[in-house]
């Protein structure tokens, strides 16, 4: 191996500068030459100005990455030796894996690939995708032969958007490579920045499988909590009270019910079920959990409607304020947010819905969902107020403050249990 064989002098290219790629580029950019590449010119422009719209990296952290440069020009990554691909892996309208961003990134890398180079994938995929789907694209675009001229690795991302405690450097990194020698090099590379340590998997498929089951496990645990919430509601029991009581046992897992969106938990299980079905197995438990979680938007909206009816509020034409649109608290990420399901369902009941979210980008909300965010919701103008996302700023305002947006007769629905049981009219 030449090129990347000299790990100390290797130059990196990070392909895709979103929630995963940018923190990675910044971490490496503090210690070695790195080129951050993205096809989004606006994204590159803001990063060059020292701004990160995802709010994952602070301006001082960007400035500290002295050896990091940004580009949309593929010729500027041609002299790199290690390429790390961190593009999204979404699902399509039929809930099937959409590998187009991943394969397009592989095509881009393949056009500049040289003998001795290493391509590392971090994007979540089903077991086998790196070698079965990405490697052929690299070979075709480069004219080189896999594991003779170039090599690949897989090191799944474990970024948790909005989490300031569990960061790239403090989460154990799983690594792997297409040969034992490359596996060692990939592991050594990440060991430069990950203080929590690394775990070298025995194969790329094992590393791929480990990643995809992490979020599948969380999805199933939350699905159980959501199903319990539906049962307890019918029994007239507050779910949060039950979970707090059960949580006094040392081995009870602290999962909570809610809307399951985002780019990981609500998407990754479909990658595993797709591959399982491709090899002739129908995964019943995983898909059952997905059905429960995918249906929570309609359930939450239905609960809101019932609470309003109990108070004698006319549903058709009612005005509702939804607080929060992002897929999780204290994070601007709008991808696959299930709050949209709640909004659409309320609108189907004939309600007029306003949405307020200080974390969300108004242009992105408009582009992705056709939703016009309300910057300053009217006081005293709503028949219902729903706290759909548990942003800290909502909790700090307090339930009484949020009730000021409601009419004399209104419902305050606390989806995320931000407030005490006696402060809201209903919780999930």
pLDDT band at 414 (very low <50, low <70, confident <90, very high): very high
Residue 217 to residue 223: CA distance in whole angstroms: 10
Mean pLDDT on 191-203: 97
Residue 153 to residue 119: CA distance in whole angstroms: 6
Residue 362 to residue 334: CA distance in whole angstroms: 11
Residue 356 to residue 372: CA distance in whole angstroms: 9
pLDDT band at 166 (very low <50, low <70, confident <90, very high): confident
DSSP class of residue 113 equals: -
Mean pLDDT on 343-360: 97
Mean pLDDT on 311-327: 97
Mean pLDDT rounded to a whole number for the chain: 95
pLDDT digits (tens, 9 = 90+) for 108-165: 999 999 999 999 999 999 999 999 999 999 999 999 999 999 999 999 999 887 777 8
Residue 256 to residue 417: CA distance in whole angstroms: 9
pLDDT band at 177 (very low <50, low <70, confident <90, very high): very high
Give the residue numbers annotated as catalytic, written as ranges: 264
Q: Residue 4: pLDDT above 70?
A: no
pLDDT digits (tens, 9 = 90+) for 208-246: 999 999 999 999 999 999 999 999 999 999 999 999 999
């Amino acid at each position: 191996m030449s090129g990347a064989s000299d790990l100390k002098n290797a130059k990196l290219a990070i392909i895709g500068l979103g929630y995963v790629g940018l923190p990675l580029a910044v971490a490496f950019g503090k210690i070695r030459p790195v080129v951050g590449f993205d096809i989004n010119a606006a994204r590159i422009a803001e990063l060059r100005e020292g701004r990160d719209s995802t709010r994952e990296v602070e301006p001082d952290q960007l400035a500290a990455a002295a050896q990091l440069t940004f580009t949309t020009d593929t010729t500027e990554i041609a002299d790199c030796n290690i390429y790390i691909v961190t593009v999204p892996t979404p699902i399509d309208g039929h809930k099937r894996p959409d590998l187009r961003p991943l394969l397009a990134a592989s095509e881009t890398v393949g056009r500049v690939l040289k003998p001795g180079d290493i391509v590392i994938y971090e994007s979540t995929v089903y077991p086998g995708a790196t070698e079965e789907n990405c490697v052929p694209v690299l070979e075709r675009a480069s004219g080189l032969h896999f594991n003779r001229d170039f090599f690949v690795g897989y090191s799944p991302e474990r970024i948790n958007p909005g989490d300031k405690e569990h960061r790239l450097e403090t989460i154990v990194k799983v690594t792997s490579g297409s040969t034992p020698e490359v596996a060692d090099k990939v592991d050594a590379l990440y060991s430069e920045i990950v203080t929590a340590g690394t775990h070298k998997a025995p194969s790329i498929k094992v590393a791929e499988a480990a990643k995809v089951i992490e979020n599948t496990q969380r999805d199933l645990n939350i699905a159980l909590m959501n199903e319990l919430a539906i049962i307890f509601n019918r029994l007239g029991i507050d779910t949060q009270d039950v979970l707090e009581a059960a949580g006094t046992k040392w081995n009870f897992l602290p999962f909570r019910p809610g809307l399951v969106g985002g780019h990981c938990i609500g998407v990754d299980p479909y990658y595993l079920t797709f591959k399982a079905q491709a090899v002739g197995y129908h995964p019943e438990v995983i898909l059952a959990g997905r059905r429960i979680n995918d249906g929570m938007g309609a359930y939450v909206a239905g609960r809101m409607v019932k609470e309003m009816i109990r108070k004698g509020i006319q549903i058709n034409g009612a005005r509702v304020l939804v607080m929060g649109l992002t897929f999780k608290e204290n994070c601007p990420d709008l991808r696959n947010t299930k709050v949209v399901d709640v909004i659409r369902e309320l609108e189907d009941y004939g309600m007029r819905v306003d949405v307020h979210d200080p974390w969300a980008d108004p242009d992105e909300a408009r582009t992705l969902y056709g939703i016009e965010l309300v910057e300053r919701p009217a006081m005293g103008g709503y028949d219902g107020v729903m706290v759909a996302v548990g942003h800290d700023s909502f909790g700090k305002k307090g339930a009484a403050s949020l009730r000021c947006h409601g009419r004399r007769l209104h419902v305050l629905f606390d989806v995320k249990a931000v407030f005490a049981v006696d402060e809201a009219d209903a919780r999930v």
